[in-house]
Amino acid sequence: MSAPKALVLCGDGINCDLETAHALQLAGFAAERMHNSDLLAAPERMSQYKLLALPGGFSFGDEIASGKVLALKLKDKLKHALYDFSAHGNLVIGICNGFQILVQLGLLPDSTANAPRSVSLCHNSSGRFMNKWVSLDVSAKPGPFFSGMTRLDLPVRHGEGRLAVAEDASASTREQVKKSAPLRYSKDINGSFDKIAALTNASSNVLGLMPHPEAFVRWNQHPSHGSGVSVVEGDTLAAPVEIGAPPGLQILLNAAAMIK
């Protein structure tokens, strides 16, 4: 059986595409990078792939708002193609800036065409960019991307990672956003609503997350590797039990297992 094909978007300030493609290769995908302009010129090319990855970075220098300019660029020609891609059961994963783009496009937490937008990713409550490792808790019913996982460490690198719900959102909408969160920060790091670090759609095939799974695909990437305990910006991270795949790689292995 041939490896499932994964498309990794690149260009215009995206700077984690190489790491993301490498991580997907390790997880068993045949990963290919494509400049967003080439995809915009031929959206039908997405039909060749089983997974679309929108990596982290600073697309268009985060002008206006993180992910906003690239989302506007994609919206005209690619938004409906993305709806069709996910509606056919294919996987979409947006990491950091990619998560911001999916939210700007209105593909999370509801990937239904023309669904009202209910969330935004805003400036961290500190007002500062953060680059650190954090501990995260997996929800009781996380969906297949986080199957078999309960708690993990991953790095975050963002200035606008605070998930906010629309001020006029109803109580039921807020509750639905909570139910759409497979991953939460173990402690509040940026003021994110309900400490949410990731969202999935109702079909669990579209995932957006602020932490970077592609940055933890080898055990020796963890800051406490070989030392027992690591203190990172005041947070103590216990040394992980190095059994099986590192958490970042496991998320992508779970993605590969989702493909039929």
Q: Hey, which residues are catalytic here? A: 96, 212, 214
Other CB atoms within 10 Å distance of the CB of residue 246: 23
∠ Cα 155 12 59 (to 5°): 40
Distance CA 116, CA 11 (A): 29
**Kind of pairing between the strands at 51-54 and 5-10:** parallel
Strand locations in 79-186, DSSP E? 91-95, 119-122, 130-138, 151-158, 162-165, 183-185
Encoded tokens for 49? 């792939």
Amino acid in the structure at residue 9: L
Task: Give the chain's radius of gyration (CA, Å).
Answer: 17
Instruction: With beta carbons less than 8 A apart as the criterion, state whether 93 and 122 touch.
Output: no
What is the chain's length?
260
Strand locations in the chain, DSSP E? 5-10, 30-35, 51-54, 91-95, 119-122, 130-138, 151-158, 162-165, 183-185, 196-200, 206-209, 229-232, 235-238
